[in-house]
Chains A and B, each alone.
Chain A
Amino acid sequence: MTEKAILYDSTSCIACRGCQVACKQWNDNPLDKEENWGDCPQTADISASTWLKIMLNEAKSYGDDTFLFTRRACMHCTDAACIKVCPTGALSRHELGFVTYDKDICSGCGYCMEFCPFGVPQSTRNTLTGAAKMDKCTLCTTPGADRMSENYEPACVKTCPTDALVFGDRDDLVILGNQKVSELKDEGYNNASLYGENELGGLHVLYVLEDSPDRYGLPLTPEFPAMADVWQDIIQPVGLAAGGLLLAGLGLNYIIASRAKAAREKAAKKEV
Protein backbone atom coordinates (compact mmCIF):
# COMPACT_ATOMS: atom_id res chain seq x y z
CA MET A 1 0.00 0.00 0.00
CA THR A 2 1.13 3.57 -0.67
CA GLU A 3 2.65 5.07 2.42
CA LYS A 4 0.87 8.07 3.86
CA ALA A 5 2.26 10.96 5.90
CA ILE A 6 1.50 14.32 7.48
CA LEU A 7 3.29 17.45 6.28
CA TYR A 8 3.59 20.10 8.96
CA ASP A 9 4.52 23.55 7.70
CA SER A 10 5.83 25.45 10.69
CA THR A 11 5.75 28.73 8.75
CA SER A 12 1.99 28.45 8.22
CA CYS A 13 1.26 27.33 11.79
CA ILE A 14 -0.33 30.00 13.99
CA ALA A 15 -0.20 27.85 17.15
CA CYS A 16 -3.95 28.04 17.62
CA ARG A 17 -3.73 24.51 19.04
CA GLY A 18 -6.94 23.48 17.37
CA CYS A 19 -5.15 20.23 16.44
CA GLN A 20 -4.48 19.53 20.12
CA VAL A 21 -8.16 19.91 20.91
CA ALA A 22 -9.28 17.83 17.94
CA CYS A 23 -6.80 15.09 18.92
CA LYS A 24 -8.05 14.99 22.49
CA GLN A 25 -11.68 15.04 21.42
CA TRP A 26 -11.37 12.31 18.80
CA ASN A 27 -9.31 10.02 21.03
CA ASP A 28 -11.41 10.78 24.10
CA ASN A 29 -8.35 11.79 26.11
CA PRO A 30 -8.91 13.68 29.39
CA LEU A 31 -7.34 17.04 30.16
CA ASP A 32 -4.01 17.23 31.93
CA LYS A 33 -3.46 19.66 34.74
CA GLU A 34 -2.30 22.90 33.18
CA GLU A 35 0.26 25.20 34.64
CA ASN A 36 0.19 28.89 34.04
CA TRP A 37 3.59 30.12 33.04
CA GLY A 38 3.54 33.61 31.62
CA ASP A 39 0.74 34.18 29.17
CA CYS A 40 0.49 30.66 27.85
CA PRO A 41 -1.38 28.28 30.16
CA GLN A 42 -0.21 24.95 28.81
CA THR A 43 0.88 21.54 29.85
CA ALA A 44 4.66 21.31 29.79
CA ASP A 45 4.94 18.47 27.30
CA ILE A 46 3.06 15.63 25.66
CA SER A 47 1.76 13.00 28.09
CA ALA A 48 -0.13 9.72 28.16
CA SER A 49 -3.34 11.70 27.56
CA THR A 50 -1.89 14.50 25.43
CA TRP A 51 -0.59 12.88 22.30
CA LEU A 52 -0.04 16.07 20.35
CA LYS A 53 1.23 19.43 21.44
CA ILE A 54 2.26 22.55 19.58
CA MET A 55 5.49 23.80 21.17
CA LEU A 56 6.27 27.49 21.33
CA ASN A 57 10.03 27.88 21.16
CA GLU A 58 11.22 31.38 21.92
CA ALA A 59 14.24 31.99 19.74
CA LYS A 60 16.28 34.56 17.96
CA SER A 61 15.81 33.70 14.34
CA TYR A 62 17.31 35.67 11.45
CA GLY A 63 17.87 38.60 13.81
CA ASP A 64 14.33 38.73 15.19
CA ASP A 65 13.03 37.66 18.58
CA THR A 66 10.30 35.29 17.61
CA PHE A 67 8.41 32.10 18.32
CA LEU A 68 9.35 29.04 16.31
CA PHE A 69 6.31 26.76 16.44
CA THR A 70 6.71 23.05 16.18
CA ARG A 71 4.49 20.04 16.36
CA ARG A 72 5.41 17.53 19.06
CA ALA A 73 3.92 14.04 18.61
CA CYS A 74 4.99 10.64 17.37
CA MET A 75 7.14 10.94 14.24
CA HIS A 76 6.18 7.48 12.96
CA CYS A 77 9.77 6.58 11.97
CA THR A 78 10.51 3.98 9.34
CA ASP A 79 13.39 2.69 11.50
CA ALA A 80 11.31 2.71 14.66
CA ALA A 81 13.33 1.76 17.74
CA CYS A 82 10.13 1.34 19.76
CA ILE A 83 8.88 -1.49 17.54
CA LYS A 84 12.30 -3.09 17.70
CA VAL A 85 12.45 -3.18 21.51
CA CYS A 86 8.82 -3.98 22.30
CA PRO A 87 9.04 -7.45 23.89
CA THR A 88 5.37 -8.44 23.54
CA GLY A 89 4.82 -7.13 20.01
CA ALA A 90 2.34 -4.54 21.24
CA LEU A 91 3.95 -1.93 18.98
CA SER A 92 3.75 -2.69 15.28
CA ARG A 93 3.90 -1.14 11.83
CA HIS A 94 0.61 -0.13 10.22
CA GLU A 95 0.19 -0.92 6.53
CA LEU A 96 0.24 2.82 5.78
CA GLY A 97 3.70 3.09 7.40
CA PHE A 98 2.64 4.41 10.79
CA VAL A 99 3.68 3.08 14.21
CA THR A 100 0.58 1.78 15.91
CA TYR A 101 0.06 -0.33 19.01
CA ASP A 102 -2.25 -2.77 20.74
CA LYS A 103 -2.71 -1.34 24.21
CA ASP A 104 -4.15 -4.60 25.56
CA ILE A 105 -0.87 -6.48 25.25
CA CYS A 106 1.36 -3.58 26.31
CA SER A 107 3.22 -5.00 29.31
CA GLY A 108 4.13 -1.55 30.59
CA CYS A 109 7.85 -2.32 30.54
CA GLY A 110 8.62 1.16 29.19
CA TYR A 111 11.46 0.04 26.87
CA CYS A 112 9.92 2.12 24.04
CA MET A 113 10.10 5.20 26.26
CA GLU A 114 13.79 4.62 26.91
CA PHE A 115 14.75 3.86 23.32
CA CYS A 116 12.70 6.46 21.36
CA PRO A 117 15.15 9.07 19.95
CA PHE A 118 12.43 11.73 20.31
CA GLY A 119 11.20 10.78 23.79
CA VAL A 120 7.65 10.42 22.51
CA PRO A 121 6.02 7.38 24.19
CA GLN A 122 4.48 8.28 27.53
CA SER A 123 2.77 6.31 30.25
CA THR A 124 0.91 6.76 33.47
CA ARG A 125 2.91 4.69 35.89
CA ASN A 126 1.93 3.55 39.33
CA THR A 127 5.28 3.73 41.08
CA LEU A 128 4.32 1.21 43.75
CA THR A 129 2.77 -1.52 41.62
CA GLY A 130 4.60 -0.66 38.41
CA ALA A 131 1.35 -0.99 36.48
CA ALA A 132 1.70 1.05 33.30
CA LYS A 133 0.35 1.34 29.77
CA MET A 134 2.10 3.28 27.05
CA ASP A 135 0.23 5.85 24.98
CA LYS A 136 1.13 7.98 21.98
CA CYS A 137 -0.21 9.26 18.68
CA THR A 138 -1.32 6.37 16.44
CA LEU A 139 -1.99 8.67 13.50
CA CYS A 140 -5.68 7.90 14.01
CA THR A 141 -5.32 4.13 13.62
CA THR A 142 -6.45 3.21 17.16
CA PRO A 143 -8.96 0.34 16.92
CA GLY A 144 -12.40 1.76 17.61
CA ALA A 145 -11.23 5.25 16.64
CA ASP A 146 -9.67 4.34 13.31
CA ARG A 147 -10.13 7.19 10.87
CA MET A 148 -7.77 5.64 8.31
CA SER A 149 -9.99 2.65 7.54
CA GLU A 150 -12.80 5.13 6.80
CA ASN A 151 -10.55 7.20 4.51
CA TYR A 152 -10.84 10.21 6.81
CA GLU A 153 -7.95 12.58 7.37
CA PRO A 154 -6.34 12.47 10.83
CA ALA A 155 -8.30 14.61 13.32
CA CYS A 156 -5.47 17.14 13.69
CA VAL A 157 -5.19 17.67 9.93
CA LYS A 158 -8.95 17.93 9.49
CA THR A 159 -9.21 20.78 11.97
CA CYS A 160 -6.16 22.84 10.95
CA PRO A 161 -7.48 26.25 9.77
CA THR A 162 -4.31 27.41 7.99
CA ASP A 163 -3.45 24.18 6.18
CA ALA A 164 -0.22 24.01 8.14
CA LEU A 165 -1.07 20.31 8.38
CA VAL A 166 -1.59 18.35 5.17
CA PHE A 167 -2.25 14.63 4.87
CA GLY A 168 -1.50 12.57 1.77
CA ASP A 169 0.80 10.11 0.00
CA ARG A 170 4.26 10.42 1.49
CA ASP A 171 6.00 10.71 -1.89
CA ASP A 172 3.75 13.62 -2.90
CA LEU A 173 4.31 15.38 0.41
CA VAL A 174 8.10 15.08 0.08
CA ILE A 175 7.85 16.91 -3.25
CA LEU A 176 5.46 19.53 -1.83
CA GLY A 177 7.64 19.99 1.25
CA ASN A 178 10.80 20.49 -0.80
CA GLN A 179 8.97 23.05 -2.96
CA LYS A 180 8.05 25.01 0.15
CA VAL A 181 11.63 24.81 1.39
CA SER A 182 13.05 26.16 -1.86
CA GLU A 183 10.51 29.00 -1.75
CA LEU A 184 11.68 29.80 1.79
CA LYS A 185 15.28 29.77 0.64
CA ASP A 186 14.41 32.12 -2.19
CA GLU A 187 12.98 34.48 0.42
CA GLY A 188 16.30 34.45 2.29
CA TYR A 189 15.68 31.75 4.90
CA ASN A 190 18.96 29.99 4.18
CA ASN A 191 18.67 27.47 7.01
CA ALA A 192 15.28 26.21 5.82
CA SER A 193 14.96 22.45 5.48
CA LEU A 194 12.54 19.57 5.14
CA TYR A 195 12.96 17.56 8.34
CA GLY A 196 12.03 13.90 8.22
CA GLU A 197 12.66 13.15 4.56
CA ASN A 198 15.61 10.87 5.36
CA GLU A 199 15.89 10.89 9.15
CA LEU A 200 15.58 7.38 10.63
CA GLY A 201 14.75 5.83 7.28
CA GLY A 202 12.15 8.53 6.67
CA LEU A 203 9.60 9.90 9.12
CA HIS A 204 5.89 9.82 8.45
CA VAL A 205 5.56 13.33 9.79
CA LEU A 206 7.49 15.80 7.64
CA TYR A 207 8.45 19.26 8.85
CA VAL A 208 8.94 22.41 6.79
CA LEU A 209 11.27 24.48 8.97
CA GLU A 210 12.57 27.95 8.22
CA ASP A 211 15.49 27.64 10.65
CA SER A 212 17.81 24.87 11.84
CA PRO A 213 15.96 21.92 13.48
CA ASP A 214 17.74 22.33 16.82
CA ARG A 215 16.16 25.79 17.18
CA TYR A 216 12.85 23.90 17.32
CA GLY A 217 14.05 21.44 19.92
CA LEU A 218 14.43 18.68 17.33
CA PRO A 219 17.57 16.52 17.32
CA LEU A 220 19.80 17.47 14.38
CA THR A 221 20.69 13.88 13.60
CA PRO A 222 18.26 11.56 15.40
CA GLU A 223 19.88 8.17 15.73
CA PHE A 224 18.53 4.66 16.04
CA PRO A 225 19.96 3.61 19.43
CA ALA A 226 22.55 0.85 18.95
CA MET A 227 21.30 -1.00 22.01
CA ALA A 228 17.84 -1.39 20.47
CA ASP A 229 19.24 -4.08 18.16
CA VAL A 230 20.77 -5.92 21.10
CA TRP A 231 17.38 -6.66 22.63
CA GLN A 232 15.39 -8.30 19.84
CA ASP A 233 18.26 -9.55 17.67
CA ILE A 234 20.45 -10.96 20.45
CA ILE A 235 18.95 -11.10 23.93
CA GLN A 236 15.55 -12.51 23.02
CA PRO A 237 16.69 -15.25 20.59
CA VAL A 238 19.76 -16.17 22.69
CA GLY A 239 17.56 -16.46 25.77
CA LEU A 240 15.05 -18.68 24.00
CA ALA A 241 17.73 -20.83 22.37
CA ALA A 242 19.62 -21.22 25.66
CA GLY A 243 16.44 -22.28 27.46
CA GLY A 244 15.50 -24.77 24.75
CA LEU A 245 18.99 -26.28 24.37
CA LEU A 246 19.28 -26.57 28.13
CA LEU A 247 16.04 -28.50 28.54
CA ALA A 248 16.99 -30.79 25.62
CA GLY A 249 20.48 -31.29 27.11
CA LEU A 250 19.15 -32.16 30.55
CA GLY A 251 16.69 -34.62 29.00
CA LEU A 252 19.51 -36.25 27.04
CA ASN A 253 21.67 -36.37 30.17
CA TYR A 254 18.85 -38.07 32.04
CA ILE A 255 18.55 -40.82 29.44
CA ILE A 256 22.32 -41.44 29.23
CA ALA A 257 22.88 -41.29 32.99
CA SER A 258 19.93 -43.58 33.74
CA ARG A 259 21.36 -46.20 31.39
CA ALA A 260 24.87 -45.80 32.80
CA LYS A 261 23.56 -46.20 36.32
CA ALA A 262 21.53 -49.30 35.42
CA ALA A 263 24.59 -50.83 33.70
CA ARG A 264 26.73 -50.18 36.78
CA GLU A 265 24.16 -51.74 39.09
CA LYS A 266 23.96 -54.78 36.83
CA ALA A 267 27.77 -55.12 36.86
CA ALA A 268 27.85 -54.74 40.64
CA LYS A 269 25.28 -57.51 41.06
CA LYS A 270 27.35 -59.84 38.87
CA GLU A 271 30.39 -59.21 41.04
CA VAL A 272 28.41 -60.18 44.12
Chain B
Amino acid sequence: MAKEVERYSKATRYLHWMHAISFSILLLTGLILFVPALGFLAEDSWTRILPRIAAVLFVVAPMIYVPLNMKRSGRGILSAFKWGKEDIRWLLAAPRYYFLCDEEAMPPQGHMNAGQKMWWLIALVFGSLFVVTGGMMWFAKDTASPGLLQWAVIIHDVSFIVTMIMFFVHIYMSAVHPLTRPLKGGSWDSMFCNGKMSADFAKAHYAKWYEEVSENKDSG
Protein backbone atom coordinates (compact mmCIF):
# COMPACT_ATOMS: atom_id res chain seq x y z
CA MET B 1 0.00 0.00 0.00
CA ALA B 2 1.17 3.46 -0.88
CA LYS B 3 2.30 5.65 1.97
CA GLU B 4 -0.38 8.03 3.29
CA VAL B 5 -0.38 11.13 5.46
CA GLU B 6 -3.29 12.36 7.56
CA ARG B 7 -4.60 15.65 6.19
CA TYR B 8 -7.92 16.31 7.91
CA SER B 9 -8.95 14.99 11.32
CA LYS B 10 -12.36 13.41 11.79
CA ALA B 11 -13.72 16.52 13.56
CA THR B 12 -12.51 18.76 10.73
CA ARG B 13 -14.18 16.54 8.16
CA TYR B 14 -17.47 16.57 10.07
CA LEU B 15 -17.33 20.36 10.32
CA HIS B 16 -16.65 20.59 6.60
CA TRP B 17 -19.62 18.42 5.65
CA MET B 18 -21.99 20.07 8.12
CA HIS B 19 -21.13 23.38 6.47
CA ALA B 20 -21.37 21.88 3.00
CA ILE B 21 -24.91 20.64 3.68
CA SER B 22 -26.15 23.75 5.47
CA PHE B 23 -24.57 26.11 2.94
CA SER B 24 -26.14 24.20 0.04
CA ILE B 25 -29.60 24.52 1.60
CA LEU B 26 -29.04 28.21 2.28
CA LEU B 27 -27.78 28.76 -1.26
CA LEU B 28 -30.73 27.03 -2.91
CA THR B 29 -33.36 28.75 -0.78
CA GLY B 30 -31.57 32.09 -1.17
CA LEU B 31 -31.73 31.68 -4.93
CA ILE B 32 -35.48 32.33 -4.71
CA LEU B 33 -34.69 35.96 -3.97
CA PHE B 34 -32.39 36.20 -6.99
CA VAL B 35 -34.56 34.52 -9.60
CA PRO B 36 -38.02 36.14 -9.67
CA ALA B 37 -39.36 33.18 -11.68
CA LEU B 38 -38.85 31.01 -8.61
CA GLY B 39 -41.17 33.24 -6.56
CA PHE B 40 -43.98 30.67 -6.66
CA LEU B 41 -41.90 28.47 -4.34
CA ALA B 42 -42.45 30.96 -1.51
CA GLU B 43 -46.13 30.07 -1.28
CA ASP B 44 -46.24 28.03 1.91
CA SER B 45 -43.47 29.89 3.73
CA TRP B 46 -41.31 26.77 3.89
CA THR B 47 -38.64 28.91 2.22
CA ARG B 48 -38.51 30.83 5.52
CA ILE B 49 -38.24 27.82 7.80
CA LEU B 50 -35.83 25.58 5.88
CA PRO B 51 -32.96 28.10 5.65
CA ARG B 52 -33.36 28.85 9.37
CA ILE B 53 -32.83 25.19 10.22
CA ALA B 54 -29.76 25.20 7.97
CA ALA B 55 -28.57 28.46 9.55
CA VAL B 56 -28.70 26.90 13.02
CA LEU B 57 -26.60 23.99 11.75
CA PHE B 58 -24.19 26.45 10.12
CA VAL B 59 -23.66 28.35 13.38
CA VAL B 60 -23.80 25.47 15.86
CA ALA B 61 -21.27 23.25 14.02
CA PRO B 62 -18.27 25.58 14.54
CA MET B 63 -19.49 26.42 18.05
CA ILE B 64 -19.01 22.78 18.94
CA TYR B 65 -15.86 22.34 16.85
CA VAL B 66 -13.86 25.31 18.06
CA PRO B 67 -13.93 24.67 21.85
CA LEU B 68 -13.01 21.02 21.27
CA ASN B 69 -10.18 21.88 18.89
CA MET B 70 -8.84 25.16 20.25
CA LYS B 71 -5.26 24.81 19.06
CA ARG B 72 -6.16 23.59 15.61
CA SER B 73 -8.84 26.29 15.15
CA GLY B 74 -6.51 29.07 16.21
CA ARG B 75 -3.79 27.90 13.86
CA GLY B 76 -6.31 27.44 11.04
CA ILE B 77 -7.80 30.90 11.39
CA LEU B 78 -4.37 32.54 11.60
CA SER B 79 -3.22 30.72 8.48
CA ALA B 80 -5.94 32.44 6.44
CA PHE B 81 -4.23 35.77 7.06
CA LYS B 82 -0.64 34.69 6.39
CA TRP B 83 0.21 35.55 2.83
CA GLY B 84 3.66 35.41 1.29
CA LYS B 85 5.42 35.92 -2.02
CA GLU B 86 4.91 32.31 -3.03
CA ASP B 87 1.17 32.67 -2.70
CA ILE B 88 1.23 35.46 -5.27
CA ARG B 89 3.48 33.35 -7.52
CA TRP B 90 1.04 30.47 -7.16
CA LEU B 91 -1.93 32.64 -8.12
CA LEU B 92 -0.05 33.94 -11.18
CA ALA B 93 0.80 30.41 -12.26
CA ALA B 94 -2.71 29.07 -11.55
CA PRO B 95 -4.18 29.73 -15.03
CA ARG B 96 -1.42 27.62 -16.60
CA TYR B 97 -2.15 24.88 -14.13
CA TYR B 98 -5.92 24.87 -14.47
CA PHE B 99 -6.14 25.42 -18.22
CA LEU B 100 -3.01 23.73 -19.56
CA CYS B 101 -2.58 21.13 -16.82
CA ASP B 102 1.01 22.34 -16.36
CA GLU B 103 1.85 20.89 -12.96
CA GLU B 104 5.53 21.83 -12.96
CA ALA B 105 4.90 25.58 -12.93
CA MET B 106 3.58 25.66 -9.38
CA PRO B 107 5.72 26.93 -6.47
CA PRO B 108 5.76 24.71 -3.35
CA GLN B 109 2.82 25.27 -0.99
CA GLY B 110 2.00 24.83 2.68
CA HIS B 111 -1.05 23.07 4.06
CA MET B 112 -3.26 25.10 1.74
CA ASN B 113 -2.33 26.38 -1.66
CA ALA B 114 -2.97 30.07 -2.33
CA GLY B 115 -6.28 29.35 -4.06
CA GLN B 116 -7.53 27.31 -1.13
CA LYS B 117 -6.33 29.97 1.25
CA MET B 118 -8.27 32.59 -0.67
CA TRP B 119 -11.44 30.50 -0.37
CA TRP B 120 -10.79 29.89 3.33
CA LEU B 121 -10.26 33.61 3.96
CA ILE B 122 -13.44 34.48 2.04
CA ALA B 123 -15.37 31.79 3.91
CA LEU B 124 -14.22 33.20 7.24
CA VAL B 125 -14.94 36.84 6.43
CA PHE B 126 -18.20 36.43 4.54
CA GLY B 127 -19.36 33.56 6.74
CA SER B 128 -19.12 35.91 9.72
CA LEU B 129 -20.92 38.66 7.79
CA PHE B 130 -23.66 36.15 6.92
CA VAL B 131 -24.13 35.21 10.56
CA VAL B 132 -24.23 38.81 11.82
CA THR B 133 -26.54 40.21 9.11
CA GLY B 134 -28.66 37.05 9.02
CA GLY B 135 -29.07 37.18 12.78
CA MET B 136 -30.22 40.79 12.48
CA MET B 137 -32.79 39.89 9.84
CA TRP B 138 -34.01 36.96 11.91
CA PHE B 139 -34.19 38.43 15.41
CA ALA B 140 -34.10 42.21 15.02
CA LYS B 141 -36.63 42.60 12.20
CA ASP B 142 -39.09 44.38 14.48
CA THR B 143 -36.58 46.28 16.60
CA ALA B 144 -33.68 47.42 14.40
CA SER B 145 -34.02 50.66 12.45
CA PRO B 146 -35.02 50.34 8.77
CA GLY B 147 -31.73 51.92 7.68
CA LEU B 148 -29.72 49.30 9.56
CA LEU B 149 -31.81 46.48 8.10
CA GLN B 150 -31.34 47.90 4.60
CA TRP B 151 -27.57 47.64 5.08
CA ALA B 152 -27.95 44.14 6.48
CA VAL B 153 -29.87 43.10 3.35
CA ILE B 154 -27.26 44.54 0.99
CA ILE B 155 -24.29 43.05 2.89
CA HIS B 156 -26.04 39.67 3.10
CA ASP B 157 -26.67 39.69 -0.66
CA VAL B 158 -23.13 40.74 -1.60
CA SER B 159 -21.86 37.93 0.63
CA PHE B 160 -24.22 35.60 -1.20
CA ILE B 161 -22.76 36.49 -4.60
CA VAL B 162 -19.13 36.23 -3.49
CA THR B 163 -19.50 32.94 -1.62
CA MET B 164 -21.72 31.42 -4.31
CA ILE B 165 -18.96 32.00 -6.88
CA MET B 166 -16.25 30.58 -4.62
CA PHE B 167 -18.49 27.67 -3.59
CA PHE B 168 -18.93 26.53 -7.18
CA VAL B 169 -15.24 27.06 -7.94
CA HIS B 170 -14.37 25.01 -4.86
CA ILE B 171 -16.59 22.08 -5.87
CA TYR B 172 -15.28 22.24 -9.39
CA MET B 173 -11.62 22.34 -8.39
CA SER B 174 -11.87 19.55 -5.86
CA ALA B 175 -14.24 17.15 -7.59
CA VAL B 176 -14.69 17.94 -11.28
CA HIS B 177 -11.48 19.40 -12.77
CA PRO B 178 -9.63 16.80 -14.90
CA LEU B 179 -6.49 17.07 -12.76
CA THR B 180 -8.18 16.41 -9.43
CA ARG B 181 -11.04 14.12 -10.34
CA PRO B 182 -9.32 10.86 -11.15
CA LEU B 183 -6.77 11.10 -8.38
CA LYS B 184 -7.34 8.41 -5.81
CA GLY B 185 -5.66 9.49 -2.63
CA GLY B 186 -5.93 13.16 -3.55
CA SER B 187 -8.04 16.05 -2.27
CA TRP B 188 -11.36 14.22 -2.55
CA ASP B 189 -10.30 11.23 -0.45
CA SER B 190 -8.74 13.44 2.17
CA MET B 191 -12.02 15.20 2.84
CA PHE B 192 -14.56 12.58 1.89
CA CYS B 193 -13.21 9.20 2.96
CA ASN B 194 -10.61 8.65 5.61
CA GLY B 195 -8.97 12.05 5.89
CA LYS B 196 -5.76 10.70 4.41
CA MET B 197 -3.85 11.72 1.33
CA SER B 198 -1.21 9.75 -0.52
CA ALA B 199 2.31 10.91 0.25
CA ASP B 200 3.01 11.35 -3.46
CA PHE B 201 0.07 13.70 -3.93
CA ALA B 202 1.05 15.65 -0.81
CA LYS B 203 4.64 15.99 -2.00
CA ALA B 204 3.54 17.21 -5.42
CA HIS B 205 0.88 19.67 -4.25
CA TYR B 206 1.79 20.72 -0.71
CA ALA B 207 5.57 20.29 -0.56
CA LYS B 208 6.19 22.64 2.37
CA TRP B 209 3.38 21.10 4.42
CA TYR B 210 4.59 17.59 3.60
CA GLU B 211 8.02 18.42 4.96
CA GLU B 212 6.53 19.71 8.23
CA VAL B 213 4.20 16.75 8.56
CA SER B 214 6.90 14.17 7.98
CA GLU B 215 8.80 15.81 10.81
CA ASN B 216 6.17 16.16 13.53
CA LYS B 217 3.10 14.19 12.41
CA ASP B 218 0.62 16.98 12.93
CA SER B 219 -2.58 17.29 10.93
CA GLY B 220 -4.88 20.22 10.16
Query: B-contacting residues of A (Cβ < 8 Å)?
Result: 87-90, 104-111, 113-115, 119, 125, 127-133, 225, 227, 230-231, 235-236, 238-240, 242-243, 246-247, 250, 253-254, 256-258, 260-261, 264
Contacts and interface: CB of A to CB of B under 8 A. Distances in A.
12 contacts: A89-B39, A105-B40, A105-B42, A107-B48, A125-B142, A127-B138, A127-B141, A130-B138, A257-B99, A257-B100, A257-B101, A260-B101
A115 B45 contact: no
B98 A90 contact: no
A258 B178 contact: yes
B17 interface: no
Interface string B130-171: 000000011101100010011101100110110011001100
Contacts of A87: 32-34, 36, 39
B177 A257 contact: yes
A261 B179 contact: yes
Contacts of A107: 32-33, 39, 42, 47-48
A236 B43 contact: no
A236 B47 CA distance: 18
Given A87-B34, A250-B172, A256 B45 contact: no
B150 A246 contact: no
Contacts of B141: 110, 125, 127
Contacts of A127: 138-139, 141-142
Q: Classify the interface of chain B: helix, strand, loop or mixed.
A: helix
Contact of B153 (A111, A133, A238): A111
B157 A108 contact: no
Nearest to A265: B101
Interface of B: 32-36, 38-40, 42-43, 45, 47-49, 52, 98-101, 137-139, 141-142, 146, 149-151, 153-154, 157-158, 160-161, 164-165, 168-169, 172, 176-179
B169 A250 contact: yes
Contacts of A111: 153
Contacts of B160: 239
Contact of B150 (A119, A225, A238, A243): A225
A88 B33 contact: yes
Most chain B CB within 10 A, of A114, A227, A242, A258, is at A114
B78 to A, nearest CB: 30
Contacts of B168: 243, 246-247, 250
Contacts of B165: 242-243, 246
Nearest to B157: A235
Given A231-B157, A235-B161, A264-B101, A133 B34 contact: no
Contact of A105 (B39, B137, B146): B39
B152 to A, nearest CB: 9
A239 B48 contact: no
